[in-house]
Structure 1
Amino acid sequence: MASSMKGRFKRFEHRFERILWRLRLIAILPVMMSLVSTVVAFVLGTLEIVKALVSLGDVAHTKKTFVAELLGAIVTGIDLYLIGIALLIFGYGVYELLISPIEAAREHDQGGGGLLDIRDLDQLKEKLVKVLVVALIVSAFKAMLTLPIKDGPSLAFFCLSVLLLALSGYLVTGSGGKRLF
């Protein structure tokens, strides 16, 4: 009798584990949504840059801040591209970690280590953090383009902002071959 119960429990456990294993496929939903969001971010970034370039052809450049606004629009496009790249990394990483390794990526792999080569959760986190910090640096740069410098304190804040951006870039890339993230 105990052997029969043990056999039933083992079958139940096996069925439950198979269902549990298949349930990981629900992760396809965030993968698909992040890939769709990537396309949207790339399209929006492209539209922003095209809009900026079209404004170059406008002959009525009477504003003093035209160059800053033009650069701001281009930087916004670049920022949207970086956000799209972060979404792409997220989608690929979730797919590779939870669903299946991407065989097509492995066929053309020349030693690995690419941005989309994600083998564990720490690599996914590291790559996302790097891209997002760069996106934040670009956003801060955009804000600095229109920052009015009228007196000593505003110049000091501007310089402090440049210093913090440089420090952020240094921390993300690492120093002397050592990786900090």
Structure 2
Amino acid sequence: MNFIEKIFESTLWQGRLLILLAVIFGMVGALVLFVVASLDIYHVATYTINVLTSHSHPENFHEKIVGEIIGAVDLYLIAVVMLLFSFGLYELFISKIDIAEKSESSGILKIKDLDQLKDKLAKVIVMVLIVSFFKRVINMQYNTPLEMLYFAISIFALAIGLYFLHKGSQQH
């Protein structure tokens, strides 16, 4: 029975290497998002240069540029989520990243346990949601005082949520 148990445990332990699929494809997803967001910024820059050199000023020019840039920031943040996810899974299930341990850069990618990974991911996801909210709000038309009140309440709710998110991270 001891021999069978050793084979089973060895197979089970090696099964953790399946996590490498999530790590690799998470990194690929992050790379794709970084490229797409960068191309979006490039297109906004070329569009802006074309508009400025043609001496025309299209309707909603500023809103369009700001909306596109905010969309790119949103993609960058989602790419960061994918990076954190990949690094965290690798460190938790496969091995510590030696080069990261020796690096003098920020320790944001150092993950000690699953709760810390979830906490970091949740914070970035909240920021993604805030940026998405901002992108939608920037293009809205406010026709009544009640709509402006709803807008103010939503901004207040976001501010309170960020306050508690920040307050919670200082306690750890």
Which TM-score applies when normalising by structure 1? 0.87
Q: Choose which of 67, 71, 83 in structure 1 pairs with 2:66.
A: 71
Q: 1:82 aligns with which of 72, 77, 83?
A: 77
Aligned partner of 2:149 in structure 1 is 156
Deviation at 1:163, TM superposition (A): 1.1
User: 1:61 is matched with which residue?
Assistant: 57
The Cα of 1:176 is off from its aligned counterpart by: 9.7
Gaps (5+ residues) in structure 1? 1-8
Q: Aligned-pair distance for 1:169?
A: 1.7
Q: 1:176 to 1:20 in 2, by over 3 A?
A: closer
Distance across 2 between alignment mates of 1:92 and 1:25? 14
Distance (whole Å) between structure 2 residues aligned to residue 99 and residue 109 of structure 1: 22
Aligned residue number for residue 34 of structure 1: 26
| Contact 1:133/1:172, CA 8 A, preserved across alignment | no
Q: Identical aligned pairs, as a percentage?
A: 35
Q: Which has the higher helix share?
A: 2
Q: 4+ residue stretches of structure 1 with deviation over 2 A?
A: 59-62, 175-179
Query: Any idea what SS the aligned residue of 1:118 has?
Result: coil
**Could you tell me whether the CA contact under 8 Å between 1:31 and 1:92 is conserved in 2?**
yes
Q: What's the C-alpha RMSD, in Å, of the aligned pairs?
A: 1.7
Q: How does 1:18-29 map to 2 (within 5 A)?
A: 18-29=10-21
Task: Please give the residue correspondences for 1:93-112 in structure 2 after superposition, counting only pairs within 5 Å.
Answer: 93-109=88-104
In the TM superposition, what whole-angstrom CA distance separates every residue of 1:132-179 from its partner, at most 9, and x where no partner exists? 101110110111101111211111121112112212221221169435
For 1:81 and 1:90, the matched residues in 2 are separated by 14
What is the alpha-carbon distance in structure 1 between the residues aligned to residue 123 and residue 57 of structure 2? 37
Aligned residues: 168
Q: Report the CA distance shift for 1:109/1:176 in structure 2 as closer, same or farther (over 3 A).
A: closer
TM-score by length of 2: 0.91
User: Is residue 142 of structure 2 the alignment partner of residue 141 of structure 1?
Assistant: no
Match of 2:44 in 1: 52
Q: Which runs of 5+ in 2 are unaligned?
A: none
The residue aligned with 1:174 is 167
Asked whether the 8 Å contact 1:133–1:168 carries over to 2, the reply is: no
